[in-house]
């Protein structure tokens, strides 16, 4: 008599138990539409899994010392089978996660998914977003090449501009006054220990809160009796698998064609020209060239964080649930804001670089009023004027006004980042990307 293979069955039930555990048994059919979530949350989870696995492999190959780190990266490419490929996958997955997490944040906001019991999850999401940035940034130093050394020197140096405790924070991160062996040891511990631990805790919390809110956001309706629900297996699982496997396939292919960057070994005596921060901090670096450091490093981030944390608690500012932009035709407000915000920022960057900087004396350039509070006040008043115009003159609902303002802010962030990446050349001069 043939015996049934219990091991195989057990394996299958463990896997399905796990999948069922993080999902409910059934979900409203409306919430599994790709057009609602764009699969972005699933992509972020997939990328995190890829990062964990490739990160574990890299632990076996990487050596965290200023004398050995660079060489160990070179050996991954020259001596260890698939070592370079694994590093490439880890690098591209980490960078892609910054973009995916940002787009996921936007989709949550643009589909009104921060109301009805989702307020706390929005805040957990913000924590996850900062973890993504910090994970990338702490990993950036580990190859100990010129790119890494100077990007981290620039960014940790930015903390020094925070009044009172800025220097203390900078020294804490660096493990001393300069970027050196202690910085590498600190960043290694943060990157492979503290951050992965925080990801596990906050992701578990994030997923639990999604279940607690009854799944993804749905269009509000008075009659909830005729909501059609479908079993998670196979309806949702098959969609998640398609997104996950598709993404991993594309990533593996990309990583086999494009190597992660590795510049010359770190040389504290010679900075590259231009010396740039990591690309996701280039918006901040660009802003530092125009505004006073205290405003850029302290005032703007703190103000933005307060607004983002409080946003879901102001019900009238949140878009109606479950519809992109709150309804058909409303997207124009966001797109218009984005185009306007980006266009004005590009113009101001050019104007400041070519005319104002030349006209203002060095003394004036360092002045916190000239370069700090006055421009900030102008920005806040301009946003307030848009607010008044839309809500009073065109009788737009408050959530629509917030939508337009969010478009403007997104446009400002994108245009500053694009300028930093493509339009800054030697000496951080404005240049055209081609030629």
Residues that bind ligand HEM (CB under 6 A): 37, 40-42, 44-45, 48, 101, 104-105, 108, 113-114, 118, 121-122, 125-126, 128-129, 132, 203, 206, 210, 213, 216-217
Minimum distance, C-beta of residue 106 to ligand HEM, in the bound complex (Å): 9
How far apart are alpha carbons 164 and 125 in whole angstroms? 29
Give me the residue whose beta carbon is nearest to ligand HEM. Answer: 125
Minimum distance, C-beta of residue 305 to ligand HEM, in the bound complex (Å): 11
The smaller minimum CB distance to ligand HEM, of residues 90 and 206, is found at 206
The smaller minimum CB distance to ligand HEM, of residues 212 and 354, is found at 212
The smaller minimum CB distance to ligand HEM, of residues 70 and 199, is found at 199
Residue 55: C-alpha distances to residues 60, 74, 97, 260 (Å): 9, 17, 14, 14
The smaller minimum CB distance to ligand HEM, of residues 396 and 399, is found at 399
Minimum distance, C-beta of residue 202 to ligand HEM, in the bound complex (Å): 8
Minimum distance, C-beta of residue 128 to ligand HEM, in the bound complex (Å): 4
Cβ neighbours of residue 61 under 8 Å, at least 6 residues apart?
72, 75, 76, 80, 83, 86
Minimum distance, C-beta of residue 271 to ligand HEM, in the bound complex (Å): 33
- Measure the N-to-C terminal CA separation of the chain; round to a whole number of Å: 76
Q: Which residue has the tokens 């990446």?
A: 421
The smaller minimum CB distance to ligand HEM, of residues 128 and 251, is found at 128
Q: List, in sequence order, every residue forming a beta bridge with 27; answer none if it has no partner.
A: 230
366 three-state secondary structure: coil
Minimum distance, C-beta of residue 162 to ligand HEM, in the bound complex (Å): 24
Minimum distance, C-beta of residue 406 to ligand HEM, in the bound complex (Å): 12
The smaller minimum CB distance to ligand HEM, of residues 133 and 185, is found at 133
Please say whether the beta carbons of 69 and 142 come within 8 A. yes
The smaller minimum CB distance to ligand HEM, of residues 106 and 428, is found at 106
Cβ neighbours of residue 249 under 8 Å, at least 6 residues apart?
none
Q: List, in sequence order, every residue forming a beta bridge with 231; answer none if it has no partner.
A: 26
CA atoms within 13 A on the CB side of 416: 20
What is the number of residues in the chain? 435
**What are the E-state strand segments in 192-306?**
229-231
């Amino acid at each position: 008599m043939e015996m049934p293979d219990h091991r195989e069955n057990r394996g299958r039930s463990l896997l399905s138990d796990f999948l069922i555990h993080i999902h409910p048994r059934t979900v409203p059919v409306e919430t599994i539409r790709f057009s609602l979530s764009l699969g972005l949350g699933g992509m972020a989870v997939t990328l995190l899994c890829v990062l964990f696995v490739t990160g574990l492999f890299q632990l076996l190959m990487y050596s965290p010392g200023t004398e050995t780190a660079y060489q160990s990266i070179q050996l991954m490419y020259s001596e260890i089978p698939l070592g370079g490929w694994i590093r490439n996958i880890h690098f591209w997955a980490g960078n892609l996660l910054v973009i995916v997490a940002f787009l996921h944040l936007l989709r949550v906001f643009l589909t009104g998914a921060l109301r009805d019991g989702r307020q706390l999850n929005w805040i957990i999401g913000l924590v996850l977003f900062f973890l993504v940035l910090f994970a990338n940034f702490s990993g950036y130093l580990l190859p100990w090449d010129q790119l890494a050394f100077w990007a981290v020197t620039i960014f940790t140096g930015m903390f020094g501009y925070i009044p009172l405790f800025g220097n203390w924070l900078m020294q804490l991160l660096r493990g001393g006054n300069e970027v050196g062996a202690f910085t590498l040891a600190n960043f290694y511990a943060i990157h492979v220990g503290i951050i992965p631990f925080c990801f596990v805790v906050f992701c578990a919390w994030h997923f639990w809160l999604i279940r607690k809110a009854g799944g993804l956001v749905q269009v509000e309706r008075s009659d909830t009796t005729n909501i059609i629900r479908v079993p998670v297996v196979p309806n949702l699982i098959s969609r998640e698998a398609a997104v996950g496997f598709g993404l991993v396939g594309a990533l593996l292919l990309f990583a086999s064609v494009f190597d992660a960057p590795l510049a010359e070994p770190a040389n504290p005596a010679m900075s590259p020209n231009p010396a740039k921060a990591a690309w996701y901090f280039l918006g901040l670096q660009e802003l530092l060239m125009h505004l006073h450091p205290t405003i850029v490093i302290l005032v703007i981030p703190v103000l933005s964080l307060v607004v983002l944390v409080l946003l879901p608690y102001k019900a009238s500012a949140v878009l109606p649930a479950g519809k992109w932009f709150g309804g058909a035709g409303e997207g124009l407000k966001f797109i218009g804001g984005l185009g306007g915000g980006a266009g004005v920022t590009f113009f101001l960057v050019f104007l400041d670089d070519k005319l104002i900087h030349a006209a203002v004396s060095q003394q004036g350039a360092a002045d916190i009023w000239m370069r700090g509070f006055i421009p900030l006040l102008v920005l806040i008043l301009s946003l307030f004027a848009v607010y008044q115009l839309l809500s009073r003159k065109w009788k737009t609902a408050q959530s629509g006004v917030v939508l337009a303002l969010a478009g403007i802010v997104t446009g400002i962030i994108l245009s500053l980042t694009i300028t930093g990446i493509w339009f800054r050349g030697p000496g951080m001069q404005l240049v055209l990307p081609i030629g």
